[in-house]
Amino acid sequence: MNSSFQHNIGSYVVPVTGIFPESASAGTINGASIDRVAHNMPQSCVLHQVTGAETGAPTAASVLTKLQHSPDNSTWSDYQINSTVQETAALTAANSENTASIDLGGAYRYIRPVMIVSFTGGTSPAILAAADIILGGERELAAV
């Protein structure tokens, strides 16, 4: 392995917060748009989601984050590879996290995370949730 990876991984990846931590009720949260051109057209990413505390005593919760893409930053569709939507596995517990590694080779210029939150039971349930996208595989590496 190249020693520069071992001692300076920050030169090779760019973390971008798509959905800042918020108390999420049931529904869909559209994350911030990320212009891949502004990041030298990264060819891969890691979609990361995290949950915190629950309120409202739900008997079950589900938080799933998928990646969408757009050619014009206004018309969005789920990003699919071989007819499979690129998404994380659903989180079903508070204070947990997971990731999905995604090949962006076929993605349009703009990408964003979209979080789907659902609950069973409870009184006005909510969960702290956030999502990040870690961009990698830029066509042109940043100056080191």
pLDDT digits (tens, 9 = 90+) for 54-109: 999 999 999 999 999 999 999 999 999 999 999 999 999 999 999 999 999 999 99
Beta-strand pair 77-78/60-70: antiparallel
Is residue 67 within 8 A of residue 125, CB to CB? The reply is: no
Encode pLDDT of 94-134 as tens digits.
Answer: 999 999 999 999 999 999 999 999 999 999 999 999 999 99
Is residue 86 within 8 A of residue 100, CB to CB? The reply is: yes
Is residue 12 within 8 A of residue 49, CB to CB? The reply is: no
Question: What are the chain's domains?
Answer: 3-136 (2.60.120.680)
What would the mean pLDDT of 17-39 be, rounded to a whole number? 97
SS3 category, 53? strand
What's the pTM value of the predicted model, to 2 decimals? 0.90
> What band does 137 get if pLDDT is binned at 50, 70 and 90?
confident
Q: Give just the sign of the alpha carbon dihedral 117, 30, 100, 52.
A: negative
What would the mean pLDDT of 39-56 be, rounded to a whole number? 96
Q: Which residue has the tokens 């891949």?
A: 36
Q: Give just the sign of the alpha carbon dihedral 98, 102, 17, 31.
A: negative
Tally of residues, the chain: 144
